[in-house]
């Protein structure tokens, strides 16, 4: 058998051939029918094997050594895988970390620019505020001067108005002043001239000052506009840099390590993810599987496919204890492990100790108590998986991951600095955590001779599937063998009972014969004594004895026929009861078997037994046959023959007694006649009994044959189960030959290695 991808289809073809060639060498239609029933019942087992092999073929990997990280929910499978991705520079992880490093570098550069820009903006604000303050002070001074000039102008104009009023009052109300004003200026007029000059001077100053104010205000506005423009420009630049920062932060977040690590929620990992490694000229794949202690039903197909593909399996647990057993309501972890991993050739238990605080980490990772518990784990796992289980390894993935990972904020970054603050370097943490030792072992010992390991693992899975089917067939054979023994025991009891019924029938026939003969003797004696008492002579006696004998023999035969009929009826009843009870026992056994037998594989335990005929009909048929045989053999339908036999005996006796009658008186003759009657009756009875017994003996074989046919009929259930069991054993035997061939070739693989 070529151990390549063709192994799956080759095994399927051989199994199909085994099933199809199980034909009966005989011609018994019932045997052939039972064999077909057995083959039909094997269809589920056969289909399961085919499905398993096809699934193995579909999921098989023959080129790259694949390691499945499998185990409990929240046991830290992804934590350990992420650490190995970093340590072993897995391609996608390396690209992520390069992207992270570049983004972090760019982030720092942009942050420097932002800081510089913020300094410029701050300087711009300070410069603006200083310039604004100076210019505003100048403007405010000008405005203050303007206010002072406005106040002076207001005073001058007020005085001017007063002077005009005074002059008007003098001219109107004082004639002297009026006349004098016509020739000389009044004092008020002179003051008015001076004030006008002052007003004009203030006006000029106001005009000049207003022009200066406008100029200064325009300058101030220009300063505001320039500042706003510069600030907007700088703020726009800052906004662009902040956008760049946000983008870089998103890149840093997206490319932070430990994204595949759960957050404590059950069933965080929903899909199987593969990571390809190339290390020390070896290529291998690590598969991250969903946990098996959550709601794994929704991802069962994913788990099964990944397990079938893997060549080695790490069972990851956060506890230094054996996996839990289940109960009636919940499948235990140990049962899941056995179901998933027992076909594997290389299984390890990885104790991933939970260490979340630097104080928990020391040179001695595993305590004495944990070490003892892990020894128990090894024993339980070896008992569960057999030689496929290797040993346990201990480590703590969390400290290793946080110490060498890249993080952008969050609890992992805080945790990283806690550990690094406690220990000298990530190297120390890697050593204390045991992850460095584990990584070195995995990249050397585990992945050596990987071509051999790949072939061994794949062939072992095929071998296991075949042997699993063989074991199931063995379980079926044993189950049917136990049922067969029970049915045989029931059959033996029924056969013994039928033999007892047969023996009882013969005893009843003999008893019926003796009863009929005794009745014959009594009746014949009574009638002959009555005739003798009538004082008949010897000739009359002889004739009367013959006549009475013929009559009584005929009555005897009829009486015997009635008795035999009753015996046959009783025989039929007894047989019917035995057959019915046998059928009831068989049905109860089969029903009990169907309801109680439990297999770990798909199998329909219901046995459709061939229906026997009605027990009463079978018994009646046998009784009728026996009745006919007895009456034909014993010639009970011809009483004349039996009468001649009886008379022939009488003739001899009477003839021998003729000389006695002549010398006897009446009383003596009567007594001798009665004596002769008794002797004749006894001789007749003896002759009839001997002849009837001889004829009854002739019916033994036919009656026994009839009973044997009934026994053979009730043997059907045993024969059916026996034939089906033999079919199971034949298929099992043929598959064992195939399994030995695969095992032999596995030994060759090991030898070549």
Secondary structure of 431-486 as H, E, C letters: HHHCHHHHHHHHHHHHCCCHHHHHHHHHHHHHHHHHHHHHHHHHHHHHHHHHHHHH
pLDDT band at 597 (very low <50, low <70, confident <90, very high): very low
Residues 610/616, Cβ–Cβ less than 8 Å:
no
- 69 with 132, same domain: the answer is no
- 284 with 302, same domain: the answer is yes
Say yes or no to pLDDT of 550 above 80. Answer: yes
Mean pLDDT of 600-625: 53
Total domains, the chain: 3
Cα separation, 539 vs 673, in Å, equals 11
Between residues 365 and 488, the one the model is more confident about: 365
As a whole number of Å, the end-to-end CA separation of the chain is: 18
Residue-wise DSSP of 575-632:
HHHHHHHHHHHHHHHHHHHHHH---SS-------PPPPPPHHHHHHHHHHHHHHHHHH
Cα separation, 525 vs 531, in Å, equals 10
How confident is the model at residue 245, as a pLDDT? 94
Of 431, 448, 465, the position where a domain reaches its end is 448
Cα separation, 447 vs 573, in Å, equals 79
Question: What CA–CA distances, in Å, run from 336 to 293, 350, 680?
Answer: 9, 17, 93
- 154 with 279, same domain: the answer is no
pLDDT band at 95 (very low <50, low <70, confident <90, very high): very high
Instruction: Tell whether the torsion through CA atoms of 86, 92, 94 and 96 is positive or negative.
Output: negative
How confident is the model at residue 23, as a pLDDT? 57
- 646 with 599, same domain: the answer is yes
727 contact partners, CB below 8 Å, separation of at least 6: 22, 34, 35, 38, 39, 42
- 244 with 266, same domain: the answer is no
Portion of the chain with pLDDT greater than 90, in percent: 29
How confident is the model at residue 587, as a pLDDT? 66
How confident is the model at residue 93, as a pLDDT? 95
How confident is the model at residue 1, as a pLDDT? 44
For 669-678, letters b (16+ CB in 10 Å) and e give: bbebbbebbe
How confident is the model at residue 128, as a pLDDT? 85
In the block, which residue shows the tokens 């008379």?
647
| Region of residue 279 (phi > 0: left; psi between -120 and 50: alpha; otherwise: beta) | beta
Least confident of 266-270, 286-290, 371-375, 634-638: 634-638
E-strand ranges in 547-643 read: none
How confident is the model at residue 666, as a pLDDT? 86
How confident is the model at residue 616, as a pLDDT? 55
CA-angle at 397, arms to 392 and 402, nearest 5°: 170
Residues 354/111, Cβ–Cβ less than 8 Å:
no
How confident is the model at residue 641, as a pLDDT? 47
**If you average pLDDT over every residue of the chain, what do you get?**
81
Q: Is residue 480 part of a domain?
A: no
Say yes or no to pLDDT of 448 above 80. Answer: yes
Instruction: Tell whether the torsion through CA atoms of 128, 130, 134 and 137 is positive or negative.
Output: positive
E-strand ranges in 359-443 read: 389-395
Q: Is residue 55 part of a domain?
A: no
Of 231, 254, 277, the position where a domain reaches its end is 254
Q: Is residue 294 part of a domain?
A: yes
In the block, which residue shows the tokens 């104009």?
157
In the block, which residue shows the tokens 């003896």?
686
Cα separation, 538 vs 517, in Å, equals 25
- 277 with 189, same domain: the answer is no
- pLDDT tens digits, residue range 492-506? 777 787 788 778 878
Residues 679/653, Cβ–Cβ less than 8 Å:
yes
Residue-wise DSSP of 166-204:
HHHHHHHH-HHHHHHHHHS--HHHHHHHHHHHHHHHHHH
Residues 56/461, Cβ–Cβ less than 8 Å:
yes
Q: Is residue 14 part of a domain?
A: no
Q: Is residue 33 part of a domain?
A: no
Of 254, 288, 319, the position where a domain reaches its end is 254
Say yes or no to pLDDT of 252 above 90. Answer: yes
How confident is the model at residue 206, as a pLDDT? 85
How confident is the model at residue 522, as a pLDDT? 92
How confident is the model at residue 297, as a pLDDT? 67
Mean pLDDT of 172-201: 73
Q: Could you tell me the pTM of the whole model? A: 0.69
Between residues 38 and 356, the one the model is more confident about: 356
Q: Is residue 52 part of a domain?
A: no
How confident is the model at residue 376, as a pLDDT? 96
3-state secondary structure of 327: coil
Say yes or no to pLDDT of 491 above 90. Answer: no
How confident is the model at residue 2, as a pLDDT? 47
What secondary structure letter does DSSP report for 267? T
3-state secondary structure of 286: strand
Residues 706/625, Cβ–Cβ less than 8 Å:
yes
Q: Which two tokens stand for residue 95?
A: 């690209």
Q: Which two tokens stand for residue 452?
A: 């051999």
- 302 with 214, same domain: the answer is no
CATH, residue 327 = 3.40.50.300
Least confident of 32-41, 226-235, 427-436, 649-658: 649-658
How confident is the model at residue 29, as a pLDDT? 63
Cα separation, 301 vs 609, in Å, equals 39
Residue-wise DSSP of 118-170:
HHHHHHHHHHHHHHHHHHHHHHHHHHHHHHHHHHHHHHHHHHHHHHHHHHHHH
Say yes or no to pLDDT of 232 above 50. Answer: yes
| Region of residue 264 (phi > 0: left; psi between -120 and 50: alpha; otherwise: beta) | left
3-state secondary structure of 565: helix
- 216 with 302, same domain: the answer is no
Say yes or no to pLDDT of 680 above 60. Answer: yes
For the ranges 671-675, 700-704, 726-730, the one whose mean pLDDT is highest: 671-675
Q: Is residue 25 part of a domain?
A: no
CATH, residue 128 = 1.10.287
- 278 with 361, same domain: the answer is yes
CA-angle at 121, arms to 116 and 122, nearest 5°: 95
pLDDT band at 593 (very low <50, low <70, confident <90, very high): low
- 146 with 284, same domain: the answer is no
Mean pLDDT of 227-246: 92
- 186 with 270, same domain: the answer is no
Cα separation, 129 vs 171, in Å, equals 62
How confident is the model at residue 103, as a pLDDT? 96
Say yes or no to pLDDT of 609 above 90. Answer: no
Residues 597/478, Cβ–Cβ less than 8 Å:
no
What secondary structure letter does DSSP report for 115? H
pLDDT band at 354 (very low <50, low <70, confident <90, very high): very high
Residue count (the chain): 753
- pLDDT tens digits, residue range 557-592? 888 888 888 888 888 788 778 777 777 666 666 665
Which residues form the domain of 400? 62-76+261-448
- 605 with 672, same domain: the answer is yes
In the block, which residue shows the tokens 């047989």?
575
Cα separation, 216 vs 221, in Å, equals 9
736 contact partners, CB below 8 Å, separation of at least 6: 470
163 contact partners, CB below 8 Å, separation of at least 6: 188, 189, 191, 192, 195
- pLDDT tens digits, residue range 623-677? 565 656 555 545 544 544 444 454 555 543 343 444 444 445 788 888 988 998 8
How confident is the model at residue 663, as a pLDDT? 45
Q: Which two tokens stand for residue 390?
A: 């290797």
């Amino acid at each position: 058998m070529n151990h390549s991808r063709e192994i799956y289809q080759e095994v399927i073809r051989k199994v199909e051939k085994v099933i199809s060639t199980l034909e009966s060498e005989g011609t018994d239609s019932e045997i052939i029918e039972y064999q077909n029933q057995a083959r039909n019942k094997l269809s589920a087992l056969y289909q399961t094997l085919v499905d398993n092999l096809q699934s193995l073929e579909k999921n098989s990997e023959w080129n790259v050594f694949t390691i499945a990280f499998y185990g409990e929910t929240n046991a830290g499978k992804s934590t350990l895988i992420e650490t190995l991705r970093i340590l072993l520079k897995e391609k996608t992880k390396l690209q992520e970390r390069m992207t992270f490093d570049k983004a972090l570098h760019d982030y720092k550069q942009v942050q420097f620019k932002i800081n510089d820009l913020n300094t410029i903006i701050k300087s711009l604000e300070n410069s603006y505020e200083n310039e604004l303050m100076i210019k505003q002070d100048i403007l405010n001074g000008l405005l203050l001067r303007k206010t002072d000039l406005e106040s002076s102008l207001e005073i001058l104009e007020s005085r001017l108005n007063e002077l005009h009023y005074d002059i008007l009052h003098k001219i109107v109300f004082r004639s002297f002043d009026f006349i004098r004003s016509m020739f000389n200026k009044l004092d008020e007029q002179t003051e008015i001239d001076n004030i006008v000059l002052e007003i004009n001077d203030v006006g000029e100053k106001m005009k000049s000052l207003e022009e200066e104010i406008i100029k200064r205000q325009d300058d101030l506005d220009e300063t505001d506009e320039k500042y706003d423009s510069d600030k907007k420009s700088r703020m726009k630049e800052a906004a662009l840099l902040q956008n760049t920062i946000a983008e870089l932060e998103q890149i840093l977040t997206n490319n932070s390590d430990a994204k595949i690590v759960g957050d404590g929620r059950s069933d965080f990992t929903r899909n199987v993810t593969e990571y390809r490694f190339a290390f020390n000229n070896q290529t291998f794949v690590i598969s991250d599987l969903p946990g098996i202690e959550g709601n794994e039903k929704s991802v069962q197909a994913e788990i099964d496919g990944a397990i079938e593909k893997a060549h080695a399996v790490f069972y990851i647990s956060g506890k230094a204890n054996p996996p839990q057993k289940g109960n009636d309501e919940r499948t235990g972890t140990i049962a899941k492990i056995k179901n998933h991993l027992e076909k594997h050739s290389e299984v390890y238990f990885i104790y991933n100790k939970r260490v979340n605080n630097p104080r928990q980490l020391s040179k001695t990772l595993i305590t004495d108590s944990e070490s003892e518990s892990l020894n128990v784990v090894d024993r339980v796992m070896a008992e569960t998986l057999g030689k496929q289980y290797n040993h346990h390894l201990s480590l703590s993935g969390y400290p290793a991951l946080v110490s060498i990972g890249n993080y952008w904020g969050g609890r992992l970054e805080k945790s990283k600095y806690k550990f690094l603050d406690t220990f000298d370097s990530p190297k120390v943490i890697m050593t204390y955590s045991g992850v460095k030792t584990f990584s070195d072992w995995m990249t050397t010992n585990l992945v050596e001779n990987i071509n051999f390991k790949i072939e061994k693992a794949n062939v072992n899975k095929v071998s296991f599937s075949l042997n699993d089917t063989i074991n199931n067939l063995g379980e079926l054979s044993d189950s049917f063998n136990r049922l067969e023994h029970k049915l045989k025991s029931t059959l033996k009891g029924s056969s013994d009972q039928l033999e007892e019924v047969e023996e009882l029938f013969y005893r009843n026939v003999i008893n019926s014969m003796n009863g009929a003969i005794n009745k014959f003797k009594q009746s014949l004696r009574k009638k002959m004594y009555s005739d003798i008492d009538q004082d008949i002579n010897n000739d009359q006696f002889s004739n009367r004895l013959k006549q009475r004998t013929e009559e009584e023999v005929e009555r005897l035969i009829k009486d015997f026929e009635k008795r035999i009929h009753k015996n046959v009826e009783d025989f039929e009843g007894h047989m019917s009861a035995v057959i019915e009870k046998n059928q009831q026992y068989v049905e109860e056994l089969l029903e009990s078997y169907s309801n109680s037998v439990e297999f770990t594989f798909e199998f329909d335990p219901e046995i459709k037994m061939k229906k026997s005929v009605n027990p009463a009909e079978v018994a009646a048929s046998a009784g009728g046959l026996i009745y006919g045989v007895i009456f034909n053999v014993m010639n009970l339908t011809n009483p004349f023959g039996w009468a001649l036999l009886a008379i022939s005996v009488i003739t001899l006796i009477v003839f021998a007694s003729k000389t006695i009658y002549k010398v006897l008186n009446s009383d003596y003759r009567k007594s001798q006649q009665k004596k002769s009657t008794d002797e004749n009756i006894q001789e007749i009875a003896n002759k009839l009994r001997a002849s009837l017994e001889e004829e009854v003996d002739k019916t033994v074989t036919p009656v026994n044959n009839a009973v044997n046919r009934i026994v053979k009929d009730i043997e059907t259930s045993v024969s059916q189960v026996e034939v089906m069991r033999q079919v199971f054993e034949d298929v099992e035997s043929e598959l064992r030959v195939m399994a030995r061939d695969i095992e032999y070739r596995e030994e060759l693989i090991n030898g070549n290695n």
